Amino acid sequence: MTELLLASSNPGKTREYRLLLDGVGYQITTLPEERINEAVTESGHTYEENARLKAVTYARRSRLTTLADDSGLEVDVLDGAPGVQSARFAGESATDTERVNLLLAKLSGVPWARRTARFKCVIVIASPAGGLATCYGECQGLIAFEARGEGGFGYDPVFYLPELDKTMAELPAEVKNRISHRGRASQCARQVLLQLRSRQ
């Protein structure tokens, strides 16, 4: 089976992509599995720039079709922060809990109606030959007053979905993967990968 390199060392993200891309005809491998230790500095100013940088670099390095994403949380009252800095919001080595706690502290006293936010995800698929495809996904919600739920990762415990009356971390994986920003971008990525497979 043809391999697809997932350009991430994040175990939560890797788990989700193995589910989201199940059945597309690729065997998913990861940077640690390929013994690739080279870190790509996410120096872009947009999710797309960062995702493209990772996908192209690792496709050249591995000689494998590579899927990379960049995603983040944008909070309106914080002028779109943390945005592309979402993973580094509380420092390079901060835990998910530390990032969530910092976010809640910054929103202390902000009323419910002004806690609007969205998750965004951009996926870039790069072939070793230089082909590129880009997919986008977005999910609207609100920032809860406290963390709830044990599922997911990152900011999921405070990302509240009014239509479901749950945070992202309270959703079963199959529901999250259907409605999340990463799930929506992956629907496009599945089509790209199926088309690539049909040409091989």
Active site residues: 70
Residues 6+ apart with CB under 8 A from 144: 115, 157, 158, 159, 160, 167
Give the pairing type, strands 132-143 and 65-75. unpaired
- Give the chain's length: 200
139 close to 171: Cβ distance less than 8 angstroms: no
Question: Which of 164, 170, 177 has the alpha carbon at shortest distance from 151?
Answer: 170
